[in-house]
Amino acid sequence: MKIISWNLNARTNQKTLEGQSSFLRLGGYDVITLQEVTLNSDSFFKESFKDMYVLSSFDLVKEKSILAKNRKYGQIVISKEPIKFISDQCKEIPFQERLLSVLIETNGYEIHTTHVPPGSSNGVIKVEHFEGLFSYLSKRKNATKILTGDFNSPKMELDTGEVITWGQKVSTSREPRISVNPKWKHQCTGERWDSAERNIIENHIQLGLKDAFRTKNGYEKSSGSWFTNKGQGRRYDHIFLSEDLFIKSAFYEHEPRNQKLSDHSPIIVDLKTPPVEPTQP
Please state, in angstroms and rounded to a whole number, the distance separating the CA atoms of residues 179 and 145: 33
Question: What mean pLDDT is reported for the chain?
Answer: 95
CA separation, residue 110 to residues 27, 61, 226, 235 (Å): 22, 21, 26, 23
Please state, in angstroms and rounded to a whole number, the distance separating the CA atoms of residues 271 and 85: 23
Q: What is the full DSSP assignment across 197-211? A: HHHHHTTGGGGTEEE
* Strand (E) or helix (H) holding 3: strand 2-7
Pick the closest to residue 75 from 152, 149, 13, 125 (CA basis): 149
* 70-74, long-range: CB < 8 A, 24+ apart: 70/95, 70/117, 70/121, 70/122, 70/125, 71/95, 71/97, 72/10, 72/38, 72/39, 73/10, 73/35, 73/36, 73/37, 73/38, 73/97, 73/98, 73/115, 74/37, 74/38, 74/39, 74/42, 74/100
Residue pair 146/109 in contact by the 8 Å Cβ criterion? yes
Q: 171-199: string of b/e by CB count within 10 Å (b at 16+)?
A: eeeeebeebbbeebeeebebebbbbbbbb
Q: Which fold has domain 2-163+200-272?
A: Deoxyribonuclease I; Chain A (3.60.10)
pLDDT the model gives residue 281? 47
E strand residue ranges, 204-278: 209-211, 226-227, 233-234, 237-242, 246-252, 267-272
pLDDT one-digit tens code per residue, 172-228: 888 899 999 999 999 999 999 999 999 999 999 999 999 999 999 998 888 899 999
pLDDT one-digit tens code per residue, 34-44: 999 999 999 99
pLDDT averages per 10-residue partition of the chain, 281 residues? 98 97 98 98 98 98 96 98 98 98 98 97 97 98 97 94 94 89 93 98 97 94 92 96 97 98 98 64 47
